Chains A and B, each alone.
Chain A
Amino acid sequence: MATWEEAQSGQARARQARLGTSLRARADQALVLVVLLAIWQGLSFAFGTYWVGSPWGVATRFFGGILNGEIPRHASYTLLEAVAGFLIGAIPAAALPFALRRLPIVTAILDPFLVGGYGAPKLALAPLFILWFGIGIESKIALVAITVFFIVYFSALAGIRALDARLVQMAQVMGAQEHDVARHIVFPGAVPYIFTGLRIAMPYSIGGAVIAELISANRGLGYLIQLSAMNFDTTGVFVALAATTCIVFAGNWIVNVVERRLLRWRPPPDFDLQAGS
């Protein structure tokens, strides 16, 4: 997980600076897109649309599905599961390390359990939740919530632990009370870490909702995928997959936008703390 973040931050930005806007690179990328589409069309031709829906067929079905409301209906169901589960999981997970900040013994006691919970396959609980809550929305929300919880908890915990003691000392010398320190130093310092956790958890929330729907549901994009597959309708499967991927991209975009606003104060990754200016 840490490696993906690293790949994204420092290197990606540096790389973008080097060659992102180069005209040749853009042309190459466009060329690759054309090639990929050609291959796709070729496969569809070779195997028949039964096995591989054609790009055109998928595109028309996709936009048709949006226009007649079918896709938005299912997508909103999946989205609701993902968002509700995300909030139910993320909010307690972010709050817990704060609440336990002054009780390190409790944190220490809980640690192996939480590490175990983090390592355990939460998605394997899907059948259990379906057993308990039925095939409705609750089982999906529960699954998403528990997956998101552990991710965000450890991110928030890292944020609390990364506290710069010198800043706290400085504030205390100036007369800050305990709650001032918590509100103005601990919390803002932890926000970037919590944010990393949210960013990592976001695709898991959508993925978790979809998986639960694959197993058992009667609405949602996962259900749509499963239904199309069972009807040997590859075009339908592609359409539902595309819709799911779009939601993930939208989620990424939202996270980026919020981060840019919320974390304006962050020095850019290549920042050299020692340099003056």
Chain B
Amino acid sequence: MAAPPLLEVRDLSKRFATRAGRDPSSWVIQGLSFAVSDGEFLTIIGPSGSGKTTLLNMLAQIDTASGGEVRFQSEAAPIDDPKGLNPGLSCKIGYVTQEDNLLPWRTTLQNVLFPLMVQRRLNDETRERAQMLIRAVGLAGFENHYPHELSGGMKKRASLIRTLVYDPPVILMDEPFGALDAQTRAQLQDDLLRLWSLGRKTIIFVTHDIAEAIALGDRTLVLSRPPASIAGEHNNPIPRPRDIAGIMTHPEFAALYQSIRAQVQ
């Protein structure tokens, strides 16, 4: 018997209130349902403006939903009342946003240590982990640099390991590699998979790049245009460990790509 899903989304809906107050604005997300198992790497694809970020914001509990529910470990999260929001669900859900959101007044190392400090978990062991992650993504030597001294790619990496350092069971990622050049992106995808394979966290990775979704994910969901719901679900048969650089030459790639592409309208 299959274990209950770690994260479950049922009939999720979201509509933004307009300033006027009473006029109904259009639904961004409506009737969205899916589930994620523990240790799964799920990728979500959707066209621009399909509410991908909105969805992640709701999952991360920084935004309310207009309807439906989100269940984490079979417990419903309170997402209808702004007052009841619990961002990050008590550090169970990590969120790597599109902007790096590094604190400009902290060095790289200080930024990476920030969540540990805030969670009162800062000790030798966690510091060592932070250092290890910094080395793992190639930021060694830049620990004492300020964000404005780092390149875009480096800031992205810092932002990534900042979430990885405190080891949340679920990690949301919002097009983290979107703004980077192809080479850096490939490198970071590689780094991500490597780090993920060490800990097998549950990852929900949003992207607009089909090739990236196939390269990284165990399963790919396709979002429809607004009002967005799940247009399709594609299991990814390509075995791990994966070769990112050569993913496109894999025999299963083309068919998967085509079927996903057909649904992304």
Contact = CB atoms under 8 A, between A and B. Distances in A.
B103 A173 contact: no
Contact of B88 (A172, A180, A189): A172
Nearest to A172: B87
A83 interface: no
Interface residues of A, number: 26
Interface residues of B, number: 34
Contacts of B148: 265-268, 271
B97 A170 contact: yes
B118 A174 contact: yes
Nearest to B118: A176
Interface centre among A175, A184, A188, A268 (most CB of B within 10 A): A175
A175 B146 contact: no
A275 B103 CA distance: 18
Chain B: interface secondary structure? loop
Interface string B172-207: 000000011100000000000000000000000000
Contacts of B90: 175
Contacts of B91: 174-175
A176 B179 CA distance: 28
Interface string A1-14: 00000000000000
Given A276-B151, A277-B150, A173 B87 contact: yes
A166 interface: yes
A261 interface: no
B175 to A, nearest CB: 15
Contact of A188 (B95, B103, B118): B103
A266 B118 contact: no
A191 B104 CA distance: 12
A170 B174 CA distance: 13
B223 to A, nearest CB: 22
List the 9 shortest-distance A-B pairs measured between CB atoms, nearest first. A277-B151, A276-B152, A173-B88, A267-B148, A172-B87, A174-B115, A188-B105, A265-B146, A175-B91
